[in-house]
């Protein structure tokens, strides 16, 4: 089954790793949460079984020198200030991707998650200060701010099984705001003895990065050198150097490659195939690589490493705290522990939910969450999981017993927030199907990715025109993945509330017979036999020579002379070009690409995945019709 699912996520294009950036991001975060949880447990066991060796290992010095300049940090500092820079690079990349390609490309949609994220940081801080005002722990208020994106998304996958992807996307948007502001707090509040000359050098290095990015300079080694220089300068300045990762991540643009770029890459590869020289190999490699945005390339490179190695290593190096009955009794009466715990499990959900509700009311519904209210409340409760950034701030703000108490507060908040989130989504599941759909999905208008609406007068449609769900496929008759998707689409069409639309996207640079096959299908359409020809072409993808195409026309009883004449004169070329143009404007460059009620479907297109997408679209359509 896994092998089949892998096959049914393929597309004919040069972006095999690009198909579903958001889905891939969420999948990596969910999968890595188990590794992080195991690292936290291991740290606790290690710190309690052999506390001496735990401290000794992470306090081991590691020095790097060049001439007379030596940089010496202990292992924990190398992880917290060094490797974690790459984690925040990924956070910055995902924030930029959401602005360029995600829901936040419509800037007005950023208002609610931005304000919810800000309120979700302020409320826990105020609660923390209510417990600690005037006390020795008051300066550690930053510990109660930030949500752990990786751990929260991972635990949501466990306690909120079956929650739609849109809920996770809403969560991620709020979390990105959270992470950005937390990094600003680290840089401004928790950086001491700031030295100006190294700080100016870091700013200059970042300015050069911005200029190079603006002029589309693609030399990776240049950015690596500037990034390392910026990191080292920030470290010397006294500002936490993890800020460098976030700043550089935000400069990396995300975009979908255009068809012209892909065709140019194909041409470069063909030149290499004809003359396999080192120069042409280099040219083809660069051409293929640059079709993918810098943002996606960097995420593909760093995201698995940060999620499965760096963040768990951070947890292992920082989560260890010696626990006994006496200490727990002291911790749970400590204002530091209580301020963190109550701030996260009460302040976060209260702030996220209240701000979302107020914005909808004050804007008369113009600004509303992109999900239902159960999802908003669940987002607030799962946001009560703070670990990575919070622990980073705790190690800066506290030491000794205070640091241990802060760790207990953070770990306790993880447990309580997970339980509350499970209860919220469990309650939503007990509702009737219509109420459950409304509670999880909401009734906000969704962004439409398909720029050319379905036109019954022009498009080829299978299924009832009044169906509540429309499945549009951009396909290529010579594409093997389209052939594999065809029987799945046929099975889906047994649903009498689904209509299916085929649009042409012949990838002539890789499929030389795709264009003529598309024109033959249109010539058959002129004789009232589009779908019959469509089925024959996909069933015989390896036999699309002219004589084969005429044979299919004869098999269908068509006027072969007329069809031959239409194809020879390219009568349907303009009709096919219309579909190709609509694909370009909708950001489609590979086949098959599906849209469900105007929203692009990312990821696999096996039966169960498409059924689930159609089910969600139908639920949203019913909500919309009731609202209308």
- Compute the distance between CA of residue 531 and CA of residue 486 in angstroms, rounded to an integer: 12
Q: Is 444 helix (H, G, I), strand (E, B) or coil?
A: coil
Structure tokens at 338: 């209580």
Q: Which pLDDT score is estimated for 28?
A: 56
* Comma-separated ranges of CATH 1.20.1530.10 domains in the chain: 42-84+106-191+320-441
Name the least confident of 32-46, 48-62, 154-168, 474-488.
Answer: 154-168
Q: Does residue 13 have a pLDDT over 60?
A: no
CB neighbour class for 240 (10 Å; exposed up to 12, middle 13-18, buried from 19): buried
- Compute the distance between CA of residue 332 and CA of residue 309 in angstroms, rounded to an integer: 32
Element (H, E) at 69: strand 69-74
* Comma-separated ranges of CATH 3.40.30.10 domains in the chain: 460-627
Triad 304, 310, 312: Cα angle to 5°: 100
* Fold (CATH) for 42-84+106-191+320-441: Na+/H+ antiporter like fold (1.20.1530)
Q: Which pLDDT score is estimated for 402?
A: 92
Q: Is 367 helix (H, G, I), strand (E, B) or coil?
A: coil
Q: Which pLDDT score is estimated for 3?
A: 45
Q: Which pLDDT score is estimated for 627?
A: 60
Higher local confidence (pLDDT), 220 or 34? 220
Higher local confidence (pLDDT), 263 or 253? 253
Helices (H), 8-110: 21-49, 51-58, 75-77, 84-100
Q: Does residue 375 have a pLDDT over 80?
A: yes
Average pLDDT over residues 113-122: 90
Instruction: Give the pLDDT confidence of 427-438 residue by residue, as tens digits.
Output: 988 888 888 888
Q: Does residue 519 have a pLDDT over 60?
A: yes
Average pLDDT over residues 386-413: 88
Q: Does residue 318 have a pLDDT over 80?
A: yes
CB neighbour class for 281 (10 Å; exposed up to 12, middle 13-18, buried from 19): middle
Average pLDDT over residues 237-244: 84
Average pLDDT over residues 321-336: 86
Q: Which pLDDT score is estimated for 88?
A: 84
Share of the chain above pLDDT 70, in %: 93
Q: Which pLDDT score is estimated for 4?
A: 43
Structure tokens at 484: 């594999």
Element (H, E) at 221: helix 220-237
Query: Do the beta carbons of residue 475 and residue 504 sit within 8 Å?
Result: yes
When pLDDT is cut at 50, 70 and 90, the band that residue 114 belongs to is confident
Q: Residues 289-320, buried b or exposed e (16+ Cβ, 10 A)?
A: ebbbbbbbbbbeebbeebbbebbbbbbbbbbb
Neighbouring CB atoms inside 10 A of 97's CB total 25
When pLDDT is cut at 50, 70 and 90, the band that residue 417 belongs to is very high
- Compute the distance between CA of residue 597 and CA of residue 573 in angstroms, rounded to an integer: 27
Average pLDDT over residues 141-166: 77
Element (H, E) at 125: helix 111-132
Q: Which pLDDT score is estimated for 99?
A: 80
Higher local confidence (pLDDT), 272 or 230? 230
Q: Which pLDDT score is estimated for 30?
A: 57
Q: Does residue 151 have a pLDDT over 60?
A: yes
Triad 217, 223, 224: Cα angle to 5°: 150
Q: Which pLDDT score is estimated for 548?
A: 94
Higher local confidence (pLDDT), 85 or 218? 85
Query: Do the beta carbons of residue 440 and residue 372 sit within 8 Å?
Result: yes
Sequence-distant (≥ 6) Cβ neighbours of residue 518 within 8 angstroms: 476, 477, 504, 506, 572, 576
Q: Which pLDDT score is estimated for 18?
A: 35
Going by C-alpha positions, the residue among 452, 539, 535 that lies closest to residue 493 is: 535
Going by C-alpha positions, the residue among 577, 628, 612 that lies closest to residue 452 is: 577
Going by C-alpha positions, the residue among 285, 595, 246, 297 that lies closest to residue 454 is: 595
Q: Which pLDDT score is estimated for 349?
A: 94
Q: Residues 374-410, buried b or exposed e (16+ Cβ, 10 A)?
A: bbbbbbbbbbbbbbbbbbbbbbbbbeeebbbbbbbbb
Q: Which pLDDT score is estimated for 10?
A: 54
* Homologous superfamily (CATH) for 460-627: Glutaredoxin (3.40.30.10)
Average pLDDT taken over every residue of the chain: 86
Q: Which pLDDT score is estimated for 463?
A: 92
- Alpha-carbon Rg for the chain, nearest whole angstrom, is 28
Q: Which pLDDT score is estimated for 341?
A: 96
Q: Which pLDDT score is estimated for 119?
A: 93
Q: Which pLDDT score is estimated for 202?
A: 93
Q: Which pLDDT score is estimated for 291?
A: 82
When pLDDT is cut at 50, 70 and 90, the band that residue 262 belongs to is confident
Instruction: Give the pLDDT confidence of 207-216 residue by residue, as tens digits.
Output: 999 999 888 8
Sequence-distant (≥ 6) Cβ neighbours of residue 363 within 8 angstroms: none
Name the least confident of 173-177, 435-439, 460-464, 593-597.
Answer: 173-177
Going by C-alpha positions, the residue among 435, 433, 442, 411 that lies closest to residue 155 is: 411
Q: Is 449 helix (H, G, I), strand (E, B) or coil?
A: coil
Going by C-alpha positions, the residue among 515, 560, 510, 509 that lies closest to residue 537 is: 515
Name the least confident of 248-262, 394-408, 563-577, 583-597.
Answer: 248-262
- Compute the distance between CA of residue 587 and CA of residue 354 in angstroms, rounded to an integer: 37
Q: Which pLDDT score is estimated for 11?
A: 55
């Amino acid at each position: 089954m896994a092998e089949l699912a892998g096959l049914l996520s393929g597309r004919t294009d040069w972006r095999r790793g690009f198909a579903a950036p958001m889905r891939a991001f969420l999948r990596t975060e969910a999968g890595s949460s188990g590794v992080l949880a195991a690292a936290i447990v291991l740290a606790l066991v290690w710190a309690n079984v052999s506390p001496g060796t735990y401290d000794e290992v992470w306090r081991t010095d590691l020095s790097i020198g060049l001439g007379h300049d030596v940089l010496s940090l202990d292992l924990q500092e190398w992880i917290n200030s060094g490797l974690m820079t790459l984690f925040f690079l990924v956070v910055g990349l995902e924030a930029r991707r959401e602005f360029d390609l995600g829901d936040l490309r419509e800037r007005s949609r950023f208002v609610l998650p931005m304000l919810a994220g800000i309120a979700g940081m302020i409320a826990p801080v105020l609660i923390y200060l209510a417990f600690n005002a005037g006390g020795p722990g008051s300066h550690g208020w930053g510990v109660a701010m930030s949500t752990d994106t990786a751990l929260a998304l991972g635990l949501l996958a466990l306690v909120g099984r079956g929650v739609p992807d849109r809920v996770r996307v809403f969560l991620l948007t709020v979390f990105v705001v959270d992470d950005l502001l937390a990094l600003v707090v680290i840089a401004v509040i928790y950086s001491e003895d700031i030295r100006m000359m190294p700080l100016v050098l870091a700013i200059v290095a970042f300015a050069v990065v911005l200029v190079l990015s603006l002029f589309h300079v693609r030399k990776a080694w240049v950015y690596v050198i500037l990034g390392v220089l910026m990191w080292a300068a920030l470290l010397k300045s006294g500002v936490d150097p993890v800020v460098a990762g976030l700043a550089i991540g935000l400069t990396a643009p995300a975009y979908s490659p255009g068809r012209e770029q892909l065709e140019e890459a194909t041409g470069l590869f063909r030149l290499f195939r004809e003359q396999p020289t080192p120069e042409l190999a280099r040219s083809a490699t660069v051409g293929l690589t640059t079709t993918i945005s810098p943002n996606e390339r960097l995420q593909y490179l760093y995201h698995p490493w940060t999620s499965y190695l760096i963040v768990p290593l951070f947890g292992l190096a920082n989560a260890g705290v010696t626990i006994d009955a006496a200490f727990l009794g002291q911790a749970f009466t400590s204002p530091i522990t209580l301020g963190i715990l109550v701030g996260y499990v009460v302040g976060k959900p209260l702030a996220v939910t209240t701000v979302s509700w107020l914005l909808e009311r004050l804007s008369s519904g113009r600004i509303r969450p992109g999900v239902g209210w159960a999802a908003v409340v669940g987002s607030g409760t799962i946001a009560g999981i703070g670990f990575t950034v919070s622990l980073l701030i705790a190690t800066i703000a506290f030491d000794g017993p205070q640091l241990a108490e802060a760790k207990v507060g953070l770990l306790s908040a993880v447990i309580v927030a997970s339980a509350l989130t499970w209860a919220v989504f469990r309650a939503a599941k007990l509702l009737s199907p219509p109420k459950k759909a409304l509670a999880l999905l909401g009734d906000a208008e969704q962004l439409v990715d398909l720029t050319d609406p379905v036109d019954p007068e022009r498009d080829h449609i299978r299924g009832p025109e009044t169906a509540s769900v429309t499945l549009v496929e951009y396909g290529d008759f010579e594409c093997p993945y389209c052939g594999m998707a065809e029987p799945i689409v046929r099975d889906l069409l047994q649903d009498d509330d689904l209509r299916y639309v085929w649009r042409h996207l012949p990838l002539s640079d890789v499929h030389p017979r795709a264009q003529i096959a598309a024109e033959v299908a249109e010539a058959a359409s002129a004789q009232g036999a589009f779908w019959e020809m469509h089925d024959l072409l996909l069933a015989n993808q390896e036999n699309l020579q002219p004589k084969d195409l005429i044979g299919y026309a004869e098999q269908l009883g068509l006027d072969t002379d007329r069809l031959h004449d239409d194809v020879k004169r390219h009568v349907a070329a303009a009709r096919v070009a219309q579909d190709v143009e609509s694909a370009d404007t909708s950001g489609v460059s590979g086949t098959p690409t599906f849209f469900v009620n105007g929203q692009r479907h990312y990821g696999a297109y096996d039966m169960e995945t498409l059924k689930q997408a159609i089910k969600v679209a139908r639920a949203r359509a019913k909500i919309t019709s009731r609202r209308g």
